[in-house]
Structure 1
Amino acid sequence: MLASDIDRTLLWSHKRLGDVPPADLECLEVLQGRDWAFVTKPAYAALEAMAVTGELVLCTTRTPDQVLRLRLPRYRQILCLNGGALLVDGEPDAEHARSTADLVAQRRPMAEFADRVRHLAEAPHVRGLRDADGHFGYFLLTGDPVPDEWVAELEEIAADDGWRLTHEQTKVYAMPDVLTKESGLTRLLERADDELVAAAGDSLLDEGMLRLARHALVPREAYLESHGWDGPLTEATGVLAGEEIALWLAELTGTAMSSTSSTGLSSRTGAPATG
């Protein structure tokens, strides 16, 4: 089995396209009538090929609805909600949902946690607190400085509730500490009696998944690069890093594209993840 995060790993916003011509891109997400997120055509061809083999599992913090609005090839399995929900052929998997419910039952429910931090969501540097299908929440930040006392109070509440915080650029994720991508993947691996050969991701929420895999790859200039990642990085950045990752994963599954990519890379040898 192989695993990859979606956003800022394979899929990149219109802001991170660099000099790649529009004709060389595939739009996978439209928001409010605007073409929003893209992969390169070689990356899309690789994703199509891997969808056929079924070896790649996409892992994302997106909700199932947010995943299903993407114009992705039809993937057999997609882990959503940071490993908390599994889509199989586009439908929720009941067995995975039950095991997630058993795990998070050990922690304070999202509705109660939201009540306890509601006053923190009204701080001037916060645009709001979003609920991810009742599994976890995330604070949207304005970009203004975040006061130390706000962080300290949130950390105290989270620790008391069995939750953890992850600061990711313009968001602070708050979720039960048992809800992780590596936990979701481990459950899939146990069901399939498989191992995680390779993984790709860009954020602190991906790190456990990356270190679970025998091989790992992180986009250069990703948030994780500047926050403790000591393993392999792509050569490219932005949407071309996504292409590099897609082709690397495809090669590991034996479905590498015969044509060279627009970066001039025909393959990449993944190195084992450290740690």
Structure 2
Amino acid sequence: MIFASDLDQTMIYSKRAFRLKEGTTEPSIRLIETYEGREISFMTSAAIELLKEVHEKMTFLPVTTRTIKQFQRITLFQEEIIPDMAVTSNGGNILVKGQADQDWQRLIRRKMNESSMSPEDLKMQFSELAHDNWILSERTADELFHYYIIDQAAAPLEELKDFEKAAAEAGWKMSLQGRKLYFVPMPVNKWDAVAHIKEKMGKTFVAAAGDSLLDLCMLEVADLPIAPLHGELNEAALGKTILRTENRGLLAAEDILKQVLAAYEKNKKICAS
């Protein structure tokens, strides 16, 4: 069994994303990521213990839009719960024992060249809509996809919806996640990377968790799809039954892990009967 999980706002949370109910006592938490002296990401101590159990019983596969370097900042996954494999860069990279799979990189580059408009041409088209009154900064992730930090309140949301359709016709997926506006080539997706690992490992059952539209391709085909009660998928995930958590924010990670462990025990009984 594989547990393929998105990280940010699914397993790990910044303090502003805790979303604890008013009057709730903050649970025991652990800092699992710092950057330039700043505290970035946390998990509850209970979620970490549950994740350790998951890691012991099945294949825990982190699946993140983070770049390789951003993933490596999470000390929990470098020092304590160390997965054999991880998917980074939204599926554009597969790490095996911490090293990028070169064969997978070559395959992704070839697919991008065959099916997606060049990044330069896409950015040129987007420049007609982009304006510095709402675009705050621009970044390229591992030379695979682009994202913009935006002022969402000032962004032309209707025009963006129209551009999303044009981007799709050009072989790119657009996803707005809070202050980040992503443009990702269609071949760079989480499920293709997970499916590759599933086949390589000879696994038959995948539980998957995620909160955003970039996770939807993974949840749509997983045997056990789970989404936090918060996130884009509350309204967007139509056409497939996706399990929800009881809690929003930080505590949703515990809900997800409990559901995954319950599925593992159920499958174990079925296989033993």
The alignment's TM-score, normalised by the length of structure 2, stands at 0.83
Structure 1 position 32, deviation (Å): 3.2
Partner of 1:235: 246
Residue 161 (str. 1) matches residue 170 (str. 2): yes
Change (3 A) 1:218 1:19: farther
Residue 83 (str. 1) matches residue 91 (str. 2): yes
| Deviation digits for residues 10-54 of structure 1 (CA, Å, limit 9, x no counterpart) | 101112337776771111111332222111112112223333455
Structure 1 position 95, deviation (Å): 2.0
Contact (CA 8 Å) 1:78, 1:86: kept in 2 or not? yes
Matched to 1:232, the amino acid is: L
Distance 1:62 1:39 in 2: 17
Aligned residue for 1:124, secondary structure, equals: coil
The alignment's TM-score, normalised by the length of structure 1, stands at 0.82
Distance 1:239 1:168 in 2: 17
Matches within 5 A, 1:35-74: 35-53=39-57, 55-72=59-76, 73-74=81-82
Partner of 2:106: 98
Distance 1:237 1:150 in 2: 30
Give the fraction of aligned pairs with identical amino acids, expressed as a percent.
Answer: 27
Change (3 A) 1:28 1:111: farther
Q: Which runs of 5+ in 1 are unaligned?
A: 255-267, 270-275
| Deviation digits for residues 110-159 of structure 1 (CA, Å, limit 9, x no counterpart) | 34433443454434111122111111111221122422564266336524
Aligned residue for 1:212, secondary structure, equals: coil
Partner of 1:258: none
Partner of 1:3: 4
Change (3 A) 1:173 1:2: same
Aligned residue for 2:211, secondary structure, equals: coil
Matches within 5 A, 1:133-172: 133-147=142-156, 150-151=159-160, 154-155=163-164, 158-159=167-168, 161-172=170-181
Change (3 A) 1:155 1:22: closer
Q: Which runs of 5+ in 2 are unaligned?
A: 268-273
Matches within 5 A, 1:7-26: 7-17=8-18, 24-26=28-30
Q: CA RMSD in A?
A: 2.6
Contact (CA 8 Å) 1:3, 1:196: kept in 2 or not? no
